Amino acid sequence: MTFARFLRHVGAVGVGLAFLAGSRAGSQETPLAPLALEGDAVRGEVLGFTCLGCHGIIGYRNVSPAYHVPKLGGQSADYLEIALQGYRRGTRRHATMQAQAAMLADQDIADLAAYFASREGEPELGIGRSSAVERTAGLQKSVACVPCHGASGVAGAPQWPNLAGQHASYLRHALEQYRSGARADLLMAPMIGALDDTALDDLAAFYAAQPGLHATEY
């Protein structure tokens, strides 16, 4: 099934963009969507102090599996809300993030998302080592990603993540989780499921080499 045909099918069943990231594959759980709450960035800054122990250190690495902790600066509040709900629900797997998110009420999530979305910074490249050949291959393979993530990795709608400038190792890890099912998503699963390791490496290399997300250093 082509990407365009897949999107038409989704629209035909009335799901459209509303199913978003984080729906558990094969379950009857309500698909995740941005919260209908106004976030308080001031309160979110207080709640987010513990987050900066990982997300506020430039180049900080997750130990096992090893990858650079993702940058949050430049992401939209809508996407951050969806991601945190996914960790809380368990459709995104990371022991620390799941433990943190399990304690968050909806308003807490909205406030945290508002805070990190408010952090200003200049567009940056992601950390990663890649060749021009890999980046060119990633550009070619990213064609199917454009409708949601934009031509250079800047999403066209706030519920989708910006990929430009994210660290290559984190992008590679996230793509592998979508492929394995460790991160459940009704749209990403069929898009990524058939890709081999080289394709995942190339996509991660391409997006990391585009200026975009920035660090939330403190």
Q: Could you tell me the sign of the dihedral formed by the alpha carbons of 192, 62, 111, 41, in that order? A: negative
Residue 216 lies in a domain: no
pLDDT at 63 over 60: yes
Give which of 104, 105, 45, 113 is closest to 82, Cα–Cα.
Answer: 113
Residue 187 lies in a domain: yes
pTM of the predicted model as reported, rounded to 2 decimal places: 0.86
pLDDT in tens, 101-141: 999 999 999 999 999 999 999 999 999 999 999 999 999 99
pLDDT at 25: 41
Rounded to 10 deg, the angle between the 132-141 and 197-208 helix axes is 100
pLDDT in tens, 5-27: 333 333 333 333 333 333 334 34
Residue 81 lies in a domain: yes
Residue 204 lies in a domain: yes
Q: How many domains does the chain have?
A: 1
Residue 181 lies in a domain: yes
Residue type, position 103, single letter: M
CATH (domain of 130): 1.10.760.10
Rounded Cα distance, 207 and 60, in Å: 19
Mean of the per-residue pLDDT values of the chain: 89
Domain that holds residue 137: 3-19+28-208
* Segment 187-208 mean pLDDT: 96
pLDDT at 215: 97
Residue 218 lies in a domain: no
Residue 192 lies in a domain: yes
Residue 91 lies in a domain: yes
pLDDT at 11: 36
